[in-house]
Structure 1
């Protein structure tokens, strides 16, 4: 945009080739000069007061990073975008909000996150040198950088009133491809986070353990149910009823807290998880050559 190009407050960095998100971030951070660094994705749309609200949160020098609340800018396009938008609300206003009460948001998401530049400069070498299967890592940047912040002794926070919208996949294929790096990052960086848990609140330990054991226990329940059907020709009604009851309780609580009945439809996320996301989470360490 010519308007921004002529504005002395903006400095555009043009790299010779597409080097990936991590390398682009480091190039920008090393050439930055302010106290705070705002990270956004190329398809992020920020509310006019997002920078102000994130900066206010960062006034505490103990805070190394703060993320805003995410929404889907294309929420009304398909049933999948509506489902993802509700998933974002729950992830931000339940998971991240709960973690923020203890100053340890475990992943400051890339579409809208602000970092303390002085802290970033301390961590850049570690951030750059992360490898996976013998190659420089090209996924999971947000979670890894957040955990490095916690490892360095900084707090990580959530600002629910700093709202950013991002474009989400509207078809199943692109969505599942997007989720695979996330699943791999969750399991991989959990091992790094384990060393931090003794110094964090017990709730964070419970949260981290639950996020990793939960899918495994759910997978075991599904496999046990399939085995029962195959071996005895009977349906595990108690298992099905328990999953349905827990789903409706969660969706009802979300609908009440958000004051939006649409969250009752989030019950569709349970079969979606069972038949699509759960098998995907079983592939976190598969290696694919580019």
Structure 2
């Protein structure tokens, strides 16, 4: 099967019989929880009345009501921005700027070969496209696969090999220093692009002078290999095609993903050394390079956009252990970069309105600040009212996850859309601890994934 046909097929229903069983079980328990929630209404009112007779009960109730109103208002705001969003149409060859694509690789094996070939097959003008790939001291056969790609692509591909593993930021830094294009594109080495991806991703730079960076649209490449990738694919669609579309409408996408992002060269050079030498609590930063670069470009007054039509398909963890490690890394980065963004977001960092970016940042902080109170509240109800907790939680998931479910169903297919419920239940009962743990360990270093299996 040709690459384009394979990638197009990823938008189709990939559920297997066992996946339908899991979805059916999820829906069954949620529907039963809704009925139980109704039947427990008298008990819920009694508990609420007893709680309202204490100062802490009143406090919890008002905080919960405030958070609910805040979240609903924020969702309405995002919906308003989403309706306004429009992706930039692809421009002609003459309008396209010169482009350097940088692919850092570590213990990636054959997939880096596929990544490089997919980039070379792009419909971007060859004379305007430079492809660089850096092997960051891999311990497997990544370098051999890069050499194979070089043998096929010749002068169209330049490859480098770091003498030892120095981290993704160092590999990207080398690419930024060696790149000659007016626009830098970074692509993860486990990601495949479509033929029109680079053209669509880079086009905003040709029509928007204030555009400093562009985020690509990330989908899951290995979604047929397990339930976790399938669930994450549904979650990614909402996170990118709804949330980042809304952020893009105000030129304030908070994170350009490592899987696919583009940066104006001048904007990168303005902050490159600060980015390379960034520290957190006295330690060099070796995670969150994408969010950090985004912050530094926003700080310059540049706009950061999202291109829904610039698709990249990337591998994500298939096992629980690898998944929670990835989430811990992401959440640690969020804590660090929220602090960094707070240092400039409440100043007049650009001529246009800064209200939108501030709203986005405040909602990021609400999640962080409320992580421990909500965790304690969750544990309290698990201990004191376990049945009621399960019923109310599942009923709540049924209501709020329906937003993601309908969004995915409208965009792609209704069968996979029901995984929005399954993922929410999975997250609540197995990943609820990620944010509190990441906050407590925000200063820790380490990528956590990409290590070779122990022999």
TM-score, normalization by structure 2: 0.59
Shift of 1:45: 0.5
User: Residues of 2 paired with 1:225 and 1:121: CA distance?
Assistant: 46
Which of 314, 339, 353 is residue 166 of structure 1 equivalent to?
Answer: 314
Which of 311, 329, 333 is residue 181 of structure 1 equivalent to?
Answer: 329
User: Residues of 2 paired with 1:80 and 1:221: CA distance?
Assistant: 25
Count of residue pairs brought into register by the alignment: 290
Matched residue SS, 1:76: helix
CA contact (8 A) 2:217 2:308 kept: yes
Matched residue SS, 1:235: helix
The answer for the alignment partner of 1:26 in structure 2 is 173
Greater mean deviation of Cα atoms: 13-22 or 270-279: 270-279
Matched residue SS, 1:13: strand
Shift of 1:244: 2.6
CA contact (8 A) 1:225 1:235 kept: no
Q: Which runs of 5+ in 1 are unaligned?
A: none
User: Residues of 2 paired with 1:277 and 1:205: CA distance?
Assistant: 28
CA contact (8 A) 1:215 1:278 kept: no
User: Residues of 2 paired with 1:289 and 1:254: CA distance?
Assistant: 36
The answer for the alignment partner of 1:143 in structure 2 is 291
Matched residue SS, 1:197: coil
CA contact (8 A) 2:218 2:240 kept: yes
**CA 223–120 in structure 1, closer or farther in 2 if over 3 Å, else same:** same
Which of 383, 400, 409 is residue 230 of structure 1 equivalent to?
Answer: 383
The answer for the alignment partner of 1:253 in structure 2 is 406
Which of 27, 40, 45 is residue 187 of structure 2 equivalent to?
Answer: 40
**CA 228–118 in structure 1, closer or farther in 2 if over 3 Å, else same:** closer
Shift of 1:225: 4.5
Matched, 1:279 2:433: yes
Q: Which runs of 5+ in 2 are unaligned?
A: 1-146, 447-455
The answer for the alignment partner of 2:150 in structure 1 is 4
Cα distance per residue 1:215-245 (max 9 Å; x no partner): 6547644533542453467724884366234
**CA 77–234 in structure 1, closer or farther in 2 if over 3 Å, else same:** closer
Shift of 1:276: 3.0
User: Residues of 2 paired with 1:121 and 1:79: CA distance?
Assistant: 41
**CA 42–233 in structure 1, closer or farther in 2 if over 3 Å, else same:** closer
Shift of 1:4: 3.2
Matched residue SS, 1:278: coil
Counterparts of 1:101-112 in structure 2, within 5 Å, are 101-112=249-260
**CA 220–11 in structure 1, closer or farther in 2 if over 3 Å, else same:** same
**CA 221–125 in structure 1, closer or farther in 2 if over 3 Å, else same:** closer
User: Residues of 2 paired with 1:99 and 1:15: CA distance?
Assistant: 36
